[in-house]
Structure 1
Amino acid sequence: MYLPEAIFPAILGLIHANRPFRTAQGAHEAIRDRALRPAAYGPPTRIRPDVSITVDRDGGTPVYTVSPASRGSSGHVIYTHGGGWINTIRSQHWALIFQIAAESRVTVTVPIWRLLPDGDAGEANALVLRLHAALRRTGQPVHLAGDSAGGQIALSAALALRDAGVTGIRTVLIAPALDLTISNPRIPEVLPTDPWLGVDGCRVLAEKWAGDLSLADPVVSPLFGDLHDLGPLLIASGTRDILNPDAHLLVEKARASGVEVTFLERAGAVHDFPLLPTRAGAAARSRIVAALRG
């Protein structure tokens, strides 16, 4: 059953979804709360019958593998979940991951990367590069996908892999965080319409996520990277999202660099709209599945 798209701004407002992102105080409180009360990250008890799931570890990091249950796998996708660097993977992420595995007929690797205050951009980047190197040894293609904060991790990894000589990687980005300086002059225009994200809290989170790196380092803000020779990009973004102006810059910069780009922009949609149980979300998920099909 699909829900009306128009109800989600009100729902997000009622649950104060933007509290950690709207103010610096909210961000600091969220970091402290996540350190004191880590959220459960495991997959739901009931999963689709057409996928199977296992778990391993990369050091202290849980890494799940979701595989199609029949017909075999024709490739790999590393999916890095979003959550503003403070929230772990949620049921909506798992539902999309299961759909990708079953319908794209690929094996999806899901690292539960360390959140703030423990993790940072450099550590997450190194984690994805290790996983990608291990999966490449299977001889099958390995692509990248992520949403929100996980979109930042995915695109930063794609740039690093390109620099290492790995070509042809497809990258799917859902409402990605691209420039952690949060300096796009169009952000103040979009901010009053965004019920989910904010500026002052996001700046605190971004500075902490950067760790010892500059906010302009492509490992932190992939929009600052050289985009030449990247594989195909699919970017999904709603216009009621303060990250949408940077999505436009990424599309322009990538196309100017000769990169194949598919831009799924939804007028009036909120942040991460492809993960929502709406008709527009379902249509976007179908496009994502097609882009990642082995």
Structure 2
Amino acid sequence: MASFTAWLFRMFVTYIRRSRLVFGSAENMRNNMRELYLRPRNFNPPKNLEPGITIDRIDYGAWPLYRVSSAGNSVKKRPAMMYIHGGAFYREINPQHWKLVAQAVRDTGLDAIVPIYPLLPRPGTTAAEVIDGFMDICSRLEQPIVSIVGDSAGGMYTLATMQQLLKQHPELARRNDPWLGLDGLRQLLPLLGPGLPAHDPIVSPLFGDIETLPPVMLLSGTYDMLVADAQRLSAKFQGKGTEICMPGSFKNDKFTFIEQPEMVHVYPLLPHPEGAEARETIIHFLKQHTGKASVDNYH
């Protein structure tokens, strides 16, 4: 049973997010997208995010780019993870994302590279263009990217980016990256992937190649409105294709799926016991598969 705090947050989040109201109607979503397009939200990290954390803005091309690191770290080529925030492809990064990044930096010893990628419906926001931007950062940034992490829509971009990177650079298969995956959202598809079918891996990495991927971690909740896609990805890793859902947690050498009872969408970002436990699980996975020793070698 979910904790009382988690229950309260589920009630609160259901009211605040208005996800079913927004995504249940094409008109409502277009109105919400238009509102955020006309009044874009602030993407800057919160001031005094966490003691011992340093944030530098290191813009790359046309994208704002942030490096989050432990205070006093002078090693410019220290291993880093890239964090791709969620938000249905048109919502900006928020303070909960930044808090998760700070905790991951503090507990793993990695730096974090946080791209502020362009959001729908602005120019340069098709999935192919945005994924190209992520790949460009990974390949050209002097700092080595050893892991890619994302939530919700950011998880879709994470999985798709790694699939495309491995097509171009098969040698990257030795790297290990946790992510979240989801199918392309129907109403966003014409903007996200104009001319692409719904099953194209660029917009729906659920249908892409998983054979060469490094270890994958996926967290979802039984009250997550996208849990069906998480269960389909789990089924694919179990060799059962993508046409069926396989509910329940699952783990093998390649894939770890945690399906938390009574948890809502992106519950690891929320300040309740289950969220805290999930964050620790993610950090443990990062440590296990990137190796904290590899970070220490750069000191």
Distance 2:262 2:183 in 1: 22
CA distance in 2, matches of 1:105, 1:16: 33
Match in the other structure for 2:231 = 248
For 2:270, the equivalent position in structure 1 comes to 276
Deviations 1:61-100 (A, max 9, x none): 1011111225768521111000111210001000000011
CA distance in structure 1 between the partners assigned to 2:208 and 2:198 by the alignment: 12
CA distance in 1, matches of 2:165, 2:188: 25
Q: Aligned with 2:64: secondary structure?
A: strand
Match of 1:261 among 252, 255, 262: 255
Q: Quote the Cα distance in structure 2 between the aligned partners of 1:127 and 1:167.
A: 20
How far does the alpha carbon of each residue in 1:239-286 deviate from its partner, in whole angstroms, 9 at most, with x for none? 111211111221232344986111121011000000000100000100
Using a 3 Å threshold, how does the CA distance of structure 1 residues 211 and 3 change in structure 2: closer, same or farther?
farther
1:154 to 137, 154, 158: 158
Q: SS in structure 2 opposite 1:268?
A: coil
Aligned residues: 268
Compared with structure 1, are the counterparts of its residues 256 and 70 closer, same or farther at alpha carbon in structure 2 (3 Å cutoff)?
Answer: farther
**Aligned letter for 1:31?**
M
1:167 matched residue in structure 2: 173
* Alpha-carbon distance in structure 2 between the residues aligned to 1:14 and 1:144: 31
Is 1:77 matched up with 2:91? no
1:99-129 per-residue CA deviation (whole Å, 9 max, x = no partner) reads: 1111111011101111110112111101110
Aligned mates of 1:173, 1:141 — CA distance in 2: 14
Give the distance between the partners of 2:72 and 2:220, measured in 1 at CA: 32
Asked if the contact 1:167/1:231 (under 8 Å) is kept, the reply is: yes
More strand by share: 1
The answer to whether 1:288 aligns with 2:288 is no
What SS is found at the alignment partner of 1:61? coil
Q: 1:220 to 1:16 in 2, by over 3 A?
A: closer
Aligned to 1:55: 57
Asked if the contact 1:53–1:66 (Cα under 8 Å) also holds between the matched residues in 2, the reply is yes
Which 5+ residue runs of structure 2 have no aligned equivalent? 241-251, 293-299
SS at match of 1:227: coil
- Offset, 1:35: 1.6
The answer to whether the 8 A contact 2:147-2:176 is kept is yes
Distance 1:259 1:225, change over 3 A: farther
Alpha-carbon contact 2:268-2:274 (below 8 Å) kept: yes
Cα distance in 1, alignment partners of residues 54 and 42 from structure 2: 20
Is the CA contact (8 Å cut-off) linking 1:231 and 1:259 kept in structure 2? Answer: no
1:13 CA displacement = 3.4
SS of structure 2 residue aligned to 1:103: helix
Structure 2: which amino acid aligns with 1:207?
A: P
The answer as to whether partners of 2:225 and 2:264 remain within 8 angstroms in 1 is no
What SS is found at the alignment partner of 2:57? Answer: strand
Matched letter for residue 269 of structure 2? L
Unaligned runs of 5+ in 1: 181-201
Letter in structure 1 aligned against 2:167: D
Q: CA separation in 2, counterparts of 1:105 and 1:255?
A: 33
Contact kept, 8 Å, 1:227 with 1:259, in 2: the verdict is no
Q: Which moved more, 1:165-174 or 1:79-88?
A: 165-174
User: In the alignment, what sits opposite 1:236?
Assistant: 219
What does residue 297 of structure 2 align with? none
1:14-33 mapped onto 2 (5 Å cutoff): 14-15=15-16, 17-18=18-19, 19-33=21-35
Q: How many percent identity over aligned positions?
A: 32
* Between 247-256 and 34-43, the greater mean CA deviation after superposition: 247-256
- Evaluate the alpha carbon distance shift between residue 55 and residue 264 of structure 1 in structure 2; reply closer, same or farther with a 3 A threshold: same
The residue matched to 1:269 in structure 2 has which SS?
Answer: coil
TM-score, normalization by structure 2 = 0.83
- Tell whether the 8 Å contact from 1:144 to 1:169 is kept in structure 2 after alignment: no
For the 8 Å contact 1:228–1:254, the answer to whether it is kept is no
Q: CA RMSD in A?
A: 2.1
Q: Deviations over 1:170-223 (max 9, x none)?
A: 22224x3x222xxxxxxxxxxxxxxxxxxxxx4212332223433221111001
Asked if structure 2 preserves the Cα contact closer than 8 Å seen for 1:168 and 1:232, the reply is no
CA distance in 2, matches of 1:59, 1:98: 24
